[in-house]
């Protein structure tokens, strides 16, 4: 079972290692992890997509709350949140296929960010399904290399993560 978690942490050295180390030693499988500073510079926000076979998500959130630098943990329900990923993909683009790739880029509302004599680099963002669809389509021309940011997500509506119920710490 895959869950998207949003985790507010203090923006201090080593916090990412504490979080990823916790996942590793407790056997929680990270599917993707994205982290960056928030509107408050002392606070960073992680979006962690976790794969859990048997254990309930509650085990993960309770363990996360035991980390002194973790301030808030919520699960983002895909139905009521916006999820995005950014991908950069360098596609083989000989003259004869170049226009077809550009067409795909237009259809997907992606962007060409680098043009080479034999390649095009495309920037595309969206939900993970859209990225996968684009990746499959350009694969037939040859993907030279590709990079993804991992998922980031926010809940829909006016509320913030900070409005959710307060944490319970151990």
Phi-psi category of residue 63: left, alpha or beta, with phi > 0 → left and psi -120 to 50 → alpha: alpha
Is 168 among the residues that bind other proteins (CB under 8 A)?
yes
Is 164 among the residues that bind other proteins (CB under 8 A)?
no
Asked if 45 contacts 35 with a C-beta cutoff of 8 angstroms, the reply is: yes
Shortest Å distance, C-beta 19 to other proteins: 11
Which residues inside 49-108 make contact with other proteins, applying CB under 8 A?
A: 58-59, 62-63, 65-71
Which residues inside 3-32 make contact with other proteins, applying CB under 8 A?
A: 9-10, 13-14, 17-18, 21, 25
Residues contacting 135, CB < 8 A, separation 6+: 87, 89, 143, 146
Shortest Å distance, C-beta 137 to other proteins: 43
The two structure tokens encoding residue 168? 């319970």
* Cβ proximity to other proteins, 72 vs 151, nearer residue: 72
User: CA-CA distance, 143 to 130, in Å (whole number)?
Assistant: 17
Is 41 among the residues that bind other proteins (CB under 8 A)?
no
């Amino acid at each position: 079972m895959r869950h998207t978690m949003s985790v507010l942490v203090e923006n201090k050295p080593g916090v990412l290692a504490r979080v990823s180390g916790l996942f590793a030693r407790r056997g929680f499988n990270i599917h993707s992890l994205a982290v960056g500073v928030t509107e408050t510079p002392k606070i960073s926000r992680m979006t962690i997509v976790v794969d859990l076979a048997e254990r309930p998500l509650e085990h993960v959130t309770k363990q996360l709350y035991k980390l002194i630098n973790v301030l808030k943990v919520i699960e983002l329900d895909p139905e009521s949140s916006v999820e995005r990923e950014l991908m950069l993909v360098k596609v083989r683009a000989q003259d004869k296929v170049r226009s077809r790739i550009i067409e795909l880029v237009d259809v997907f509302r992606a962007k060409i960010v680098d043009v080479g004599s034999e390649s095009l680099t495309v920037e595309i963002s969206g939900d993970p399904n859209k990225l996968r669809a684009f990746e499959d389509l350009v694969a037939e021309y040859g993907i030279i290399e590709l990079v993804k940011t991992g998922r980031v997500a926010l809940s829909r509506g006016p509320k913030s993560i900070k409005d959710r119920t307060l944490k319970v710490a151990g």
